[in-house]
Chains A and B, each alone.
Chain A
Amino acid sequence: MSDPQELTQEALAAVARAITENELAAIEVDYLRRKNGRISSLLSDIGKLPPEERAALGQAANEAKRVIEAALAAKRRGLEEARLADIAETEAIDITFPGPPIGRGHVHVLTQVQRQIETVLETLGYQVELGPEVETEWYNFEALNIPPGHPARESWDSFYFTPDLLLRAHTSPVQIRAMQRIKEPPIYIITPGRCYRRDAPEATRLPYFSQVEGLAVDKALTVGDMKGTLLYMIQSLYGEERKVRVRPSYFPFTEPSFEFDVTCGICAGAGCKSCRHKGWLEVGGCGMVHPQVLRNGGIDPEKWNGYAWGFGIERMAMLKHDVDDIRLFYESDLRFLEQF
Chain B
Amino acid sequence: MKISYEWLGDFLDLDGVTPKEAADALTRLGLEVESLTVIDLSQIIIGKVVEQKKHPKSRNPLWVHQVDLGGRTEQIIAGADNAVPGSLVPVALPGTTVPNGKVVKDLNIAGYSAKGMLCSAEELLLGDDHSGILILDSGKPGDPLTSVIPSQATMDVEVTSNRPDCMGHLGVARELAAGLDKAMKVDFMPAFTGKAEPAGRDMVKVSIEDADLCSRYIGGVITGVKVGKSPDWVQRRLRACGVRPINNIVDITNYVLLEYAQPLHAFDRAKLSGGEVRVRRARTGEKLLCLDGVERELTPEMLVIADANKPVAIAGVIGGEETAVTDATTDVLLEAATFNGPNVRQTARAFGLRTEASARFEKGLPAELALAGARRAAALIAELAGGAVHREWADVYPRPQEPVRIRLKPWLVDEVLGIHVPLEDSEAILIRLGFHVRILGDGEWDVLPPVFRLDVSIPEDLVEEVGRVWGYDRVPSTLPGRRRDRWTPSIPSMGRRLDAARQVLAGAGFTETWNPALVSGRMLEQLRVAARALRVSNALSDDMDTLRTSLLPSLVNVVALNRDRGRTDVKVYEIAAVFLARVGDKTTQQPEEPQRLGVVADAGSTAESGREAFYAMKSVLDACMSELGAAACTFQRASAELFHPGRCAAVFLDSRQLGYLGEIHPTVVGGANLEGRLVAMEIDLEPVLAAAGAARAQPLPRFPAIERDLAVVVEEHVAAGALLAAIKEAGRDILERSRPFDEYRGAQVPDGSKSVALALTFRSPERTLTDAEVDNVMGEIKLALEKKHSARFRE
Contact residues of A with B, CB < 8 Å?
Answer: 103-108, 110-111, 114-115, 118, 122, 124-125, 127-128, 130, 132-136, 148-149, 151-152, 154-155, 159-162, 164-165, 167, 182, 184-186, 192, 194, 196, 198, 200, 207-208, 210, 216, 218-225, 227-229, 231-232, 244-250, 252, 255-259, 276, 288, 290-291, 305, 329-335, 337-338
Contact = CB atoms under 8 A, between A and B. Distances in A.
What 8 A-B pairs come out closest when comparing CB atoms? A222-B418, A248-B30, A224-B418, A149-B342, A128-B493, A256-B464, A250-B160, A248-B468
A106 B512 contact: yes
B606 interface: no
Contacts of B512: 105-108, 111, 337
B688 interface: no
Would you call the interface of chain B mostly helix, strand, loop, or mixed? Answer: loop
A155 B490 CA distance: 35
B495 A115 contact: yes
B608 interface: no
B32 A259 contact: yes
A232 B491 CA distance: 22
A222 B416 contact: yes
A115 B499 contact: yes
B599 to A, nearest CB: 10
Contact of B482 (A118, A218, A246): A218
Given A198-B540, A207-B540, A232-B479, A256 B495 contact: no
Contact of B460 (A122, A224, A291): A291
B472 interface: yes
B418 A225 contact: yes
A250 B479 contact: no
A208 B160 contact: no
Contact of B593 (A133, A149, A154): A133
Contacts of B482: 218-220
Interface residues of B, number: 88
B64 interface: no
A224 B478 contact: yes
Interface string B477-504: 1111010101110110111100100100
B479 A208 contact: no
A51 B649 CA distance: 88
Contacts of A194: 517, 576-577
A38 B510 CA distance: 66
Contacts of B517: 133, 194, 196, 208
B161 A224 contact: no
B234 interface: no
Nearest to A149: B342
Contacts of A155: 161
Contact of A104 (B460, B478, B507, B570): B507
B579 A108 contact: no
A326 to B, nearest CB: 12
A107 B502 contact: yes
A255 B413 CA distance: 12
Contacts of B484: 186
B570 A334 contact: yes
Contact of A288 (B460, B571, B572): B460
B536 A159 contact: yes
A160 B479 contact: no
Nearest to B464: A256
Interface string B551-571: 000000010011001010011
B534 interface: yes
A241 to B, nearest CB: 15
Contacts of B515: 330, 332
Contacts of B513: 108, 332, 337
A114 B498 CA distance: 13
Given A134-B534, A221-B480, A222-B418, A103 B493 contact: no
B417 interface: yes
Interface of B: 27-30, 32, 35, 160-163, 341-342, 345, 362-364, 415-419, 455, 458, 460-461, 463-464, 467-468, 472-473, 475-480, 482, 484, 486-488, 490-491, 493-496, 499, 502, 505-518, 534-540, 544, 547, 558, 561-562, 565, 567, 570-572, 576-577, 579, 589-591, 593
Nearest to A229: B479
A218 B495 contact: no
8 contacts: A105-B510, A105-B512, A115-B496, A182-B488, A196-B517, A222-B419, A229-B480, A248-B28
B165 to A, nearest CB: 13
A110 to B, nearest CB: 6
Contact of B509 (A105, A122, A124, A227): A105
Would you call the interface of chain A mostly helix, strand, loop, or mixed? Answer: mixed
A210 B517 CA distance: 12
Contact of A151 (B341, B487, B538, B572): B341
A58 to B, nearest CB: 45
A151 B364 contact: yes
Contact of B495 (A114, A133, A291): A114
B495 A184 contact: no
B495 A224 contact: no
Given A224-B475, A255-B463, A290-B460, 14 more contacts: A111-B495, A128-B495, A160-B538, A164-B589, A182-B488, A220-B482, A244-B477, A245-B473, A247-B32, A250-B160, A250-B161, A250-B162, A256-B468, A257-B464
A124 B481 CA distance: 10
Q: Which of A224, A231, A288 has the most CB of B within 10 A?
A: A224
Nearest to B593: A132
A250 B480 contact: no
A29 B460 CA distance: 100
A258 B472 contact: yes
A250 B506 contact: no
A207 to B, nearest CB: 6
Contacts of B461: 255
Contacts of A162: 537, 589
B495 A225 contact: no
A175 to B, nearest CB: 15
Nearest to A244: B477
Nearest to B159: A250
A50 to B, nearest CB: 56
A219 B484 CA distance: 10
Contacts of B538: 159-160, 198
A111 B511 CA distance: 12
Contacts of A231: 477
B565 A335 contact: yes
Nearest to A255: B460
Contacts of A104: 506-507, 509
A115 B323 CA distance: 63
B30 A161 contact: no
Contacts of B463: 255-256
B684 to A, nearest CB: 15
A207 B458 CA distance: 34
A257 B472 CA distance: 11
A332 B561 contact: yes
A340 to B, nearest CB: 10
Nearest to B589: A165
B418 A223 contact: yes
A154 to B, nearest CB: 7
Nearest to A276: B35
A185 B488 CA distance: 10
B672 to A, nearest CB: 13
Contacts of B577: 133, 194
A208 B363 CA distance: 27
Contacts of A118: 493, 495-496
Contacts of B536: 159-161, 167
A279 B494 CA distance: 37
A115 B499 CA distance: 10
B591 to A, nearest CB: 5
B591 A134 contact: yes
A335 B570 CA distance: 11
Contacts of A186: 484, 486-487
A134 B475 contact: no
A122 B590 CA distance: 30
Given A133-B593, A329-B514, A248 B418 contact: no
